[in-house]
Structure 1
Amino acid sequence: MAMDAVLNLGSNLAKVPLFTLFKDTSNVFRNDELGIEIAQIAVPAALALAADPVASLIDTAFIGHIGPVELAAVGVSIAVFSQVSKIAIFPLVSVTTSFVAEEDTTGKLSTELQENATLEDDFAVNKEMEELLPKAESTHKSSPVSSISTKRVYERRHIPSASSALVVGCVLGIIQALFLIMAAKPILNYMGVHPDSPMLIPAQQYLTLRSLGAPAVLLSLAMQGVFRGIKDTKTPLYATVVGDVANIILDPIFIFVFRLGVSGAAIAHVISQYLISLMLLWKLIEQVELLPPSIKDLQFSRFLKNGFMLLMRVIAATFCVTLAASMAARHGSTSMAAFQVCLQIWLATSLLADGLAVAGQAILASAFANNDYDKAKATASRVLQFGLVLGLFLWVFLLVGLQFASTLFTEDTNVLNLISVGIPFVTATQPINVLAFVFDGINFGASDFAYSAYSMVLVSMMSILCLFILSSSHGFYGIWVALSIFMSLRALAGFLRIGTGMGPWSFLRT
């Protein structure tokens, strides 16, 4: 009886959604079709996502050798630009990826049905022609099937969401550029850079010049969302690497040779962003039909409705991180410089997990469009297990590497001392950060945008409260404790949705 009870308990636990996602962990690195598909999407996506923060890290390293004031000033400006950009970028890219993946999948199904019907008709016509025409003449005539197949090879995909994303990206990029250029000084004042601060002039110069690249940033990210949706993450990687290499080459030329200082760093970054956008647009035109036959095909209402839900989400998350940067700036240039270095490392490494999130989102969106719940469950399970392994690896790697790498960013002793305070938080939160990003991608793949928005608002409200309390009582240390709480709550929100089999994940309970 006792053995039967144990077996029944084990059987019941196996049906709990949480346990279904973490079963068969021994197969996490299995070289099967799903594992290869995830790797082919995730690895290029992760490298492309990490490239921009790495470029910002290199900017930070170059500027850090100008002086701690310039490093802190650029730190505030990058924080402002990045967080304002995320307000537009995150909803744009996430919605685009899901919609493009769904439309591409349904379009392929529709095309296959049409091709099958056409082939049947063609075979019937060919049979009649063979009976009516002499055999030799029939042999020399080109087959309608081959001409149709040849034509289809060169047909571009018809994906209305791709055109919608580009239109929205262009408009948002222009609005963002105008907003940051006109409101640079008040925003910096809000961030703790007061009129009498030595950081104000270099921070304003950098922010104003870098804002000129906002249209290119938004457009390139919109196109990356399209490429992710069609499961092509190699093209964005190539374009991003070329642009960032150009940035790295131009940085020392503009900063030191032309003696433009922080302005030179901003100009180099803007040039690299426009280069990336041009390369992506050129490749996208080859693959996707960007001019729909009717304005109704753009489906702006559906695009904007779900985009607004994610806009709520990203505003809540962005406000929390921006507030943390503002509080670090209020403690002085030394605190802000140390915070900038730690934050850039934190984001650069954590975004490696976003590659897994992109793979999960693209594959899951296709699976849900096909009502293939077995593949949906297998994909969610595999990317979560990959995420846990990646998080543990980053924890160990950063724990060892950051002890020696801090001096690459600055030689100021006071800044280095504060960086050493932030390093334990940057390293220890890596597994949590990775799972939080992966849960986001999984929920986006299921088009569960409403839950993602409302849960993030609640998480941010709780985290902001912790930020105010801990920053005032424990300073720089308290800021990082609050950010660690923020990421933990984000991971918990994703865990609860899928682990309990709620919303689109109710099939996990059957």
Structure 2
Amino acid sequence: MTQAPARRRTGRRQHDREIVALAVPAFGALVAEPLFLMADTAIVGHLGTAQLAGLGVASALLMTAVSVFVFLAYATTAAVARRVGAGDLQSAIRQGMDGIWLALLLGAAVVAVALPTAPHLVDLFGASDAATPYAITYLRISVLGIPAMLVVLAATGVLRGLQDTRTPLYVAIAGFVANGALNAGLVYGADLGIAGSAWGTVIAQCGMAAVYLVVVLRGARKHGASLRPDAAGIRASAQAGVPLLVRTLSLRAILMIATAVAARLGDADIAAHQIILSLWSLLAFALDAIAIAGQAIIGRYLGAGDAQGARDACRRMVEWGIAVGVVLGILVVITRPAFLPLFTSDPAVKDVALPALIIVALSQPISGIVFVLDGVLMGAGDGPYLAWAMLITLAVFTPVALLVPVLGGGLTALWATMTLMMTVRMLTLWLRTRSGRWIVTGATR
């Protein structure tokens, strides 16, 4: 009678060690990514308001483009982890190479479209006459780094699938340091202005991609994996990514709708919304780190044919998601008075933001469950269900959010609607995991 609880405790400790070993470095790498933009903003901001405005427009376009292709990391992680679990490292790395080749093809397509259309893209964002030339300059140079950025996404997925989140952390830190040094040197030392900032970032991104490729190529040589592009493998990687692309676009649509609604509420509301959204995104990094661990761990268990291990890992990660969500919620409540003055001194903005922050704090345990289950199903390769679930969430969220300006309640009501959105996501993901239909064992799904 005492052996079963002891085995459960041992199993939980094993899962805890795996989750921590993968999630902590993943969190560091995730946090390092937005620091690139912060470094660019700090350096370009001293050139003038027009330059900073141009950077803002160009960065929004670039970040949108890259976020659309985040499936390169997610799909590759799941596919590689399955093969690792099956003990076939050669096929695992071969699968990863297919994802990297797909990243290069997509990156080349983005460059081909964005270079000639840069002025039109900037115009769509309504940049001022003063900011437009700076935005076009930054965009045209920075878009040359898109293939490298997409290779970084795909290669990160390869390493995560191989249960390695430390290397992406080290590369991200080195890339951030190099980006800051290059930006400062080219902007001020070489007197290249905003173009120097763009070139510095492109060089740093290419350096990061080169490091990743060296690591993957070493693994390929070690395990005898082919490096040549394989049309069938690339096509399979693209097909696996389509549902995750639909999921990502649906989530982006939700965030855009929320911002548009906040803008209709008034200047104080949209200002407070942007502050809260930045905090919400930061909190998401902590929860997404657990989800990344989930992708790698679940994929490995299913690839090894261990369905019970996958269920147990899922259960333990949900417990982690809830616990981290509770801690984050408490931190939001405690730090509210100190957090808001960092972003605004306007009493009206603070008054609007304070009650909305309570909603954000209360919703963190829900967010914890959502991120974890999202990662579990990604690791299981259950992309089609994730796409449909997010489309359902978008369909529920949109009419409710659009009613906020009509029915009243201001920003607090809008963030209550965001909590509704996360609750719908939680329910759809919970129903799927409870059904067990996501558990498909073997090296491929």
Structure 1 length-normalised TM: 0.72
The equivalences for 1:31-180 within 5 A come to 32-57=13-38, 59=40, 74-89=55-70, 91-108=71-88, 159-180=93-114
Amino acid at match of 2:326: L
> 2:159 aligns to what SS in structure 1?
helix
Alpha-carbon distance in structure 1 between the residues aligned to 2:57 and 2:407: 22
Q: Does 1:360 align with 2:294?
A: yes
> 1:504 aligns to what SS in structure 2?
coil
Decide whether the 8 Å contact of 1:60 with 1:71 is kept in 2: yes
Alpha-carbon distance in structure 2 between the residues aligned to 1:334 and 1:220: 38
2:126 aligns with one of 194, 198, 212: 194
Deviation at 1:165, TM superposition (A): 0.7
Q: Does 1:220 align with 2:152?
A: yes
> 2:152 aligns to what SS in structure 1?
helix
Alpha-carbon distance in structure 1 between the residues aligned to 2:54 and 2:352: 17
Deviation at 1:259, TM superposition (A): 7.1
Decide whether the 8 Å contact of 2:93 with 2:219 is kept in 1: no
The equivalences for 1:372-387 within 5 A come to 372-387=306-321
Deviation at 1:429, TM superposition (A): 3.6
Matched residue, 1:279: 211
Higher relative CO (CA 8 A, sep ≥ 6), structure 1 or 2? 1
Instruction: Summarize the Cα distance change of 1:291–1:74 in structure 2 as closer, same or farther, 3 Å threshold.
Output: same
The equivalences for 1:284-295 within 5 A come to 284-289=216-221, 292=226
Decide whether the 8 Å contact of 2:54 with 2:132 is kept in 1: yes
Decide whether the 8 Å contact of 2:12 with 2:316 is kept in 1: no
Deviation at 1:96, TM superposition (A): 0.6
1:504 aligns with one of 430, 438, 441: 438
Decide whether the 8 Å contact of 2:80 with 2:92 is kept in 1: no
2:250 aligns with one of 309, 316, 331: 316
Q: Does 1:438 align with 2:372?
A: yes
CA deviations over 1:117-145 (Å, ceiling 9, x no partner): xxxxxxxxxxxxxxxxxxxxxxxxxxxxx
Decide whether the 8 Å contact of 2:432 with 2:438 is kept in 1: no
Deviation at 1:232, TM superposition (A): 0.8
Amino acid at match of 1:436: V
Cα RMSD over matched residues? 3.9
Instruction: Summarize the Cα distance change of 1:274–1:300 in structure 2 as closer, same or farther, 3 Å threshold.
Output: closer
Deviation at 1:392, TM superposition (A): 1.6
Alpha-carbon distance in structure 2 between the residues aligned to 1:212 and 1:335: 37
Decide whether the 8 Å contact of 2:57 with 2:127 is kept in 1: no
Decide whether the 8 Å contact of 2:93 with 2:158 is kept in 1: no
CA deviations over 1:44-91 (Å, ceiling 9, x no partner): 1121122112443455566677788876765554443323222212x2
CA deviations over 1:19-67 (Å, ceiling 9, x no partner): xxxxx9xx89987222212211111112112211244345556667778
- Return 5+ residue gaps in structure 1 as ranges: 1-23, 112-155
Alpha-carbon distance in structure 1 between the residues aligned to 2:322 and 2:10: 12
458-467 or 472-481, larger mean C-alpha shift: 472-481
Alpha-carbon distance in structure 1 between the residues aligned to 2:122 and 2:9: 46
> Paired residues, what number?
432
Q: Does 1:305 align with 2:264?
A: no
Deviation at 1:410, TM superposition (A): 6.5
Matched residue, 1:485: 420
Deviation at 1:472, TM superposition (A): 7.0
Deviation at 1:488, TM superposition (A): 3.0
CA deviations over 1:317-347 (Å, ceiling 9, x no partner): 2222234445667889987666554433322
Higher Rg: 1
Instruction: Summarize the Cα distance change of 1:427–1:258 in structure 2 as closer, same or farther, 3 Å threshold.
Output: farther
1:242 aligns with one of 168, 174, 177: 174
Deviation at 1:415, TM superposition (A): 7.0
Decide whether the 8 Å contact of 1:239 with 1:279 is kept in 2: yes
CA deviations over 1:385-406 (Å, ceiling 9, x no partner): 1111111222222333453345
The alignment-based identity, stated in percent, is 27
Alpha-carbon distance in structure 2 between the residues aligned to 1:237 and 1:259: 31
CA deviations over 1:432-456 (Å, ceiling 9, x no partner): 3332221111111222111111111
Amino acid at match of 1:385: E
Decide whether the 8 Å contact of 1:71 with 1:337 is kept in 2: no
Q: Does 1:466 align with 2:400?
A: yes
